[in-house]
Amino acid sequence: MGLVIERVEWEPGSRTFFLLFCSCLSSIFLFPYLSKKSTVVVATNARAAHSSLLEFGSTTSFLSFQRSFLFIYSLASVIGGLQTVFGEDEYQHYGASREQMVLCLCAGIAATLSIGSFLGVLSDIFGPRKACITYCILHLFVDVLRSISAHPIIWMSSVCLALASFIFLFSFETWMTTEHERQGHRQDLLTDTFWLMIFFESASLIGSQALANLLVTDLEKGFFLPSAPAALLSLTSILCIRKMWNGHKHFASFRDYGNSFCMNILRDKRIWLLAGAQGCLHFSVSIFWILWAPTIVADGRDVNLSLIYPCFLGSRMLGSTTFPWLSGAGSSNIHNEDYLSFAFAIAGLSLTLVAYDYQEIGVLVVLFCVFHACCGLIFPSLARLRTAYVPNELRGGMMSLSFAPANAIILLVVVQGGYYRNLSNAWIVAFSALGLFIAAGFIQMLKRWRKHPHPNWRKL
């Protein structure tokens, strides 16, 4: 009689999602009652109450502005999620081999390195609103290509999606901060918008995964159904972006932009440190999304990846809700640099443990969740520092150019590790952990130089 070995597919328990959900809600709803800021507000006198009434109109205007932007940002996040939720399964459906997948990935990274590095500069010159529209147009092109062709050119789709994802990193944030300043809203109100961007983006990605899984029930019928709503959302986003706010230009020519960039960016060592930190983070996050699935399913283990993916995003949502607690809203004595270095170090430590090849799936998932919780705190913190040190009219160029070295290293690592197989996954993860430790060092150096703030520093 033959021996039958049952294989059990590992998946996180339902209590995990419930815990993340309750933790996020608790962090959000308890903040107004437990923060020191709320205590001061409750104890204010009648004169402060009168001042708050005078500011009611401006606060209402800001809330309308914030909600409009978060709506557009959530739509853009859903569009990106619908395009990338299936990953390698889509390439396998179109008959691509492993080598072809790696080459498509390399083509996308090379495009972001050669073309994407200068898109931020163009965004600053011609207006970030046009960059946001370009993001939607690239997704729309891929949706149409998938819909009209049974076997679309996968490398072209990979390049377009890579450029769109890269534009997403800086365009919407630049557009929001520029418009925020133009409308005359208080700079300290940006703090809430930054962490809400990460929160809504993560929630939208979870929603896009659920929508895509509902639409695709039979892979033999292709990926037309997810492409159809993605195309509709792209068109809707383009119309909303064009109608929402007016576009405007800051510079009359490339020469004016170059002079301003050299004066305000290249000559400020603090911005160099900030750029290095966000470049290291970009490298580590990109490596994570490339290797997280192969790391978990190593040795042929059966894992339900579709249920692990929301755990990462839920952890990032939870990390983003800790930002208002630590960003000075609850304690005016705490600055971004004070906790950012610790967040980078904890994220680096979690990936260091993964690099030692822990075989237990539960341990890997927990370490990855810790990494994403730290990222949820780091992303809005870096955005706040960019607002403090970088002029809004130069924000896109500074961000896109700071990602160029990281993209070059990512391309080198993917070619050596994915195509030639000269690097193991453990070594690649170790490099990403090293990048986070280097970023922590950059933030520590930036903390020392905070005693002499940038001339454009605003109290956020």
Question: With 60 as the cut, is the pLDDT of residue 6 above it?
Answer: no
Q: Say which DSSP state 5 is in.
A: P
Identify the weakest region by mean pLDDT among 63-72, 134-143, 185-194, 351-360: 351-360
SS3 state at 460: coil
Mean pLDDT confidence for 35-62: 49
What's the length of the chain?
A: 460
Higher pLDDT: 92 or 451? It is 92
- The answer to whether 20 and 13 have CB atoms below 8 angstroms apart is no
Among residues 137, 197, 131, which one has the least CA distance to residue 161? 137
Q: How far is residue 4's CA from residue 73's CA, in Å, rounded to a whole number?
A: 51
Among residues 278, 74, 245, which one has the least CA distance to residue 170? 278
HEC-encoded secondary structure of 324-351: HHHCCCCCCCCCHHHHHHHHHHHHHHHH
46 confidence band (pLDDT: 50, 70, 90): very low
Tokens (6 digits) for 242: 């064009």
Tokens (6 digits) for 253: 């020519």
pLDDT of res. 77? 96
Q: How far is residue 177's CA from residue 456's CA, in Å, rounded to a whole number?
A: 14
Percent of the chain with pLDDT over 90: 58
Question: With 80 as the cut, is the pLDDT of residue 351 above it?
Answer: yes
Residue carrying the six token digits 């150019």 = 401
Mean pLDDT confidence for 373-382: 97
Distance of CA 237 to the CA centre of its chain: 19
Question: With 50 as the cut, is the pLDDT of residue 195 above it?
Answer: yes
pLDDT of res. 459? 46
Tokens (6 digits) for 93: 């459906």
Question: With 50 as the cut, is the pLDDT of residue 286 above it?
Answer: yes
Residue carrying the six token digits 């979870």 = 206
Specify the amino acid at residue 202.
S
pLDDT of res. 202? 96
Rg (CA), the chain: 22
Among residues 146, 154, 168, 167, which one has the least CA distance to residue 107? 154
- The answer to whether 109 and 407 have CB atoms below 8 angstroms apart is yes
Q: What is the per-residue DSSP string for 335-391?
A: -HHHHHHHHHHHHHHHHHHHHT----HHHHHHHHHHHHHHHHHHHHHHHHHHHHHS-
Burial 230-246, CB ≥16 within 10 A → b, else e: bbebbeebbebbeebbe
Q: Say which DSSP state 4 is in.
A: P
Among residues 396, 460, 326, which one has the least CA distance to residue 176? 396
CB atoms within 10 A of CB 293: 15
Query: Cβ contacts of residue 438 below 8 Å, gap of 6+?
Result: 276, 280
Tokens (6 digits) for 357: 């090849």
- The answer to whether 376 and 320 have CB atoms below 8 angstroms apart is yes
Tokens (6 digits) for 304: 């339900």
Question: With 60 as the cut, is the pLDDT of residue 40 above it?
Answer: no
- The answer to whether 343 and 361 have CB atoms below 8 angstroms apart is no
Among residues 289, 361, 312, which one has the least CA distance to residue 20? 312
Domains and CATH numbers, the chain: 66-451 (1.20.1250.20)
Q: How far is residue 347's CA from residue 340's CA, in Å, rounded to a whole number?
A: 11
Identify the weakest region by mean pLDDT among 190-204, 316-330, 368-382: 316-330
Question: With 80 as the cut, is the pLDDT of residue 174 above it?
Answer: yes
pLDDT of res. 56? 43
- The answer to whether 326 and 339 have CB atoms below 8 angstroms apart is yes
Beta bridge partners of 146: none
pTM of the entire predicted model: 0.91
Mean pLDDT confidence for 425-450: 93
